[in-house]
């Protein structure tokens, strides 16, 4: 009975102290595409991605009800850096869902107007006032939006009991309602309620990315559960000290908190229901360490850890490519070292048994594309009237030109396709992710390469296949699987079978190498097909906007060389960055990774018909 009453009390007091309105919640993923368009339309940098902000603990004085409930004050602010626009993962601050949605767009307008050269953390109050004033002056249509948001927010703020804090709170309220009023007091933002209508008063600094080794963790199941929350997780790395393994003796008053890392020598977890997802959602910061053992449940987080290197041999070393530094607006010559690699284990194999039936259908379908049909216009004789030539002739007669036109017909002629295609596959570590209990992403990519090679061989198009991965700018690995002058044989199939996940994705360098190969082709149409499962990234500052800008520059260089780049991806978040890289019509997202092998040839057929 006591336990039941305690649970009821906990549920009631927690809901009573809850400062938001779940029924009016608006999630970022629901309006992320609209926010991106809105942010760029208001002058925001197009290369910035939109992500959920981290959840932070706010140390201002809590209300009596919150203290009774033991509820910590956690907030999500909006801020922007050189690579990312961070906004709350969800908003439920107002009881009206329309106000929560309007707050999202207002924050995007603030971030687009912000001058990032100013220091918000030192002068947060005048900085926020100036930013609001500049935004409203530049976009006067937002005045009504900000006024309604500000009035609704003022009604929710509570007055602190201390006299000095109450005076500061009253002054802050007047500044929120009328930002053009000069600030007369120095206000510490951490002593009062947060202001969600303004940007982050202390924008976090991005920590340097470090390398780590992979853990020897095994699992009883291949199923990976993706944890979804409305915020991004802060994390830190923690070195695992194997010398201290074993049980730790301590007094109860020195019990560690959740956020601290403790290794207990227990190689197998007996309890299958440890509520791992709930524990993960309760943490504000993760400590990541190497360990070993066996687990009953696996959770998926946004981690990008490099895999161990594998034993391949180098075909060619010493080739370099430039790289674009968007910060300096400078092309760095000879910046990336390219290694032409080949797997040591490349036995000659025939087409795998499970692909032979779909390969026969694909070859039969693509046989008719070997001969292409084309209209020849302006002919003296032909099967149909050339209406363009007829209208031109009639116009000339009306203007008094009496000479008769002899080319008023058009004729269908059959021509061989004049096309060269290079299929470039991303072989980064992320392709090691599981698609189901039996297959990984690298498996469906491998099957896709098998079927694509059969399709392109059936059409008679000149084609090549290559893969790539990287470990920093000094080690960009390029795997030539099939050359343009090489036929499809069992040796090529053996190279396809030998592909495996590498490390990172220095996409700009790989596109430049592939473009150099295509530039030597004499075909009228030169197509670069990029098969990827994620955005550009590498360990040496290539993650984020730097990699996006360099890849975009490499794609622009390919267009200038007469090459048509096109991206096929299985990344569900690709709509956030691929329109900026390839354009709205030069990419496609395959939602179900298992359908990739069957859809690749169909995409190739539709794409080459329009070129």
Residue bearing the bigger pLDDT, 100 or 310: 100
Question: What DSSP line would sit under 44-85, residue for residue?
Answer: --TT-EEEEPBPEE--SPPPHHHHHHT---EE---EE-SSEE
CA dist., res. 487 & res. 360, Å (int): 18
Average pLDDT on 62-91 reads 72
3-class DSSP state of 20: coil
Q: Tell me the pLDDT of the chain averaged across its residues.
A: 78
Tokens of 236: 């830190």
Question: What pLDDT shows up at residue 557?
Answer: 96
Does residue 533 share a domain with residue 604? yes
Q: Quick check: is 196 in a domain?
A: no
Q: What is the DSSP letter of 200?
A: -
CA dist., res. 312 & res. 305, Å (int): 21
Tokens of 105: 């767009």
The pLDDT-based confidence of 598 (bands split at 50, 70, 90) is: confident
Q: Quick check: is 203 in a domain?
A: no
| Cα-based distances in Å from 527 to 392, 488, 558 | 35, 19, 10
Give the chain's domain count. Answer: 4
CA dist., res. 281 & res. 229, Å (int): 7
Task: Tell me: pLDDT of 324 over 90.
Answer: yes
Q: Quick check: is 279 in a domain?
A: yes
The CATH number that applies at residue 583 is 3.40.50.410
- Domain containing residue 380: 374-416
What does the CA dihedral 281, 282, 285, 291 come to, rounded to 10 degrees?
A: -80
Q: Quick check: is 246 in a domain?
A: yes
| Cα-based distances in Å from 488 to 82, 356, 432, 455, 529 | 46, 15, 27, 11, 18
Question: What pLDDT shows up at residue 530?
Answer: 95
Q: Quick check: is 572 in a domain?
A: yes
Q: Quick check: is 197 in a domain?
A: no
Exposure string of 130-157, with b = 16+ CB inside 10 Å and e = fewer, is bbbeebbeebeebeebbebbbebbeeee
- Of 255, 271, 300, the last residue of a domain is 300
pLDDT in tens, 5-33: 666 655 555 554 456 788 889 998 888 88
pTM of structure: 0.65
Q: Quick check: is 401 in a domain?
A: yes
Question: What pLDDT shows up at residue 256?
Answer: 47
Average pLDDT on 295-310 reads 49
pLDDT in tens, 241-259: 544 444 444 444 444 444 4
Question: What pLDDT shows up at residue 520?
Answer: 93
Question: What DSSP line would sit under 249-300, residue for residue?
Answer: ---GGGPPPTTS----S-SB-S-S---HHHHHHH-SEEEE---EEEES--EE
Question: What pLDDT shows up at residue 117?
Answer: 59
CA dist., res. 387 & res. 390, Å (int): 5
CA dist., res. 335 & res. 37, Å (int): 34
Q: Quick check: is 199 in a domain?
A: no
């Amino acid at each position: 009975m006591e336990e039941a009453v305690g649970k009821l009390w906990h549920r009631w007091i927690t809901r009573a102290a809850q400062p938001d309105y779940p029924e009016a919640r608006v999630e970022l993923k629901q309006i992320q595409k609209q926010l991106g368009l809105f942010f760029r339309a208001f002058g925001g940098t197009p290369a910035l991605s939109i992500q959920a902000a981290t959840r932070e603990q706010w140390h201002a004085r809590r209300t009596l009800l919150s203290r009774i409930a033991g509820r910590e004050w956690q907030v999500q602010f909006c801020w922007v850096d050189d690579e990312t626009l961070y906004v709350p993962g969800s908003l439920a601050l107002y009881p009206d869902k329309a106000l929560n949605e309007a707050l999202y767009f207002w924050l995007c307008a603030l971030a687009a107007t912000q001058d990032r050269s100013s220091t918000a953390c030192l002068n947060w109050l005048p900085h926020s006032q100036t930013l609001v004033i500049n935004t409203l002056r530049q976009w006067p249509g937002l005045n009504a939006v900000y006024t309604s948001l500000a009035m609704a927010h003022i009604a929710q703020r509570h007055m602190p009991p201390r006299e000095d804090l109450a005076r500061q709170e009253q002054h802050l309220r007047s500044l929120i309602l009328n930002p053009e009023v000069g600030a007369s007091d120095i206000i510490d933002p951490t002593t009062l309620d947060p202001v969600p209508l303004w940007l982050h008063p202390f924008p976090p600094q991005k920590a340097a990315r470090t390398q780590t080794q992979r853990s020897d963790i095994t699992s009883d199941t291949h199923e990976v559960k993706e944890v979804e929350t409305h915020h991004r997780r802060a994390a830190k790395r923690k070195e695992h000290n194997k010398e201290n393994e074993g049980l730790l003796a301590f007094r109860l008053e020195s019990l560690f908190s959740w956020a601290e890392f403790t290794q207990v020598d227990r190689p197998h977890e007996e309890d299958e229901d440890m509520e791992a997802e709930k524990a993960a959602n309760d943490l504000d910061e993760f400590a990541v360490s190497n360990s070993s053992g066996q687990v009953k449940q696996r959770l998926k987080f946004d981690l990008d850890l490099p895999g161990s290197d594998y034993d391949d041999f180098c075909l060619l070393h010493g080739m370099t490519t430039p790289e674009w530094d968007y910060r300096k607006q400078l092309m760095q010559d000879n910046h990336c070292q390219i290694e032409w690699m080949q797997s040591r284990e490349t036995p000659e194999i025939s087409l795998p048994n499970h692909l032979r039936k779909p390969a026969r259908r694909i070859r039969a379908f693509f046989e008719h594309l070997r001969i292409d049909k084309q209209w020849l216009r302006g002919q003296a004789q032909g099967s149909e009237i050339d209406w363009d030539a007829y209208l031109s002739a009639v116009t000339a007669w009306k203007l008094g030109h009496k000479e008769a036109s002899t080319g008023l017909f058009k004729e269908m002629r059959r021509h061989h396709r004049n096309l060269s295609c290079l299929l470039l596959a991303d072989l980064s570590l992320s392709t090691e992710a599981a698609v189901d209990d039996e297959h990984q992403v690298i498996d469906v990519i491998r099957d896709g390469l098998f079927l694509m090679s059969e399709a392109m061989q059936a059409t008679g198009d000149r084609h090549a296949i290559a893969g790539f991965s990287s470990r920093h700018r000094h080690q960009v690995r390029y795997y030539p699987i099939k050359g343009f002058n090489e036929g499809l044989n069992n040796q090529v199939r053996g190279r396809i079978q030998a592909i495996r996940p590498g490390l990172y994705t220095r996409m700009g360098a790989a596109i430049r190498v592939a473009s150099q190969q295509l530039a030597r082709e004499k075909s009228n149409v030169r197509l670069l097909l990029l098969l990827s499962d994620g955005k550009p990234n590498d360990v040496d500052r290539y993650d984020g906007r730097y990699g996006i800008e360099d890849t975009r520059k490499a794609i622009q260089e390919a267009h200038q060389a007469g090459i048509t780049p096109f991206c096929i991806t299985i990344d569900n978040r690709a709509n956030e960055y691929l329109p900026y890289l390839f354009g709205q019509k030069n990419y496609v997202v395959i939602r179900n990774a298992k359908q990739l092998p069957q859809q690749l040839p169909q995409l190739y057929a539709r794409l080459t018909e329009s070129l």
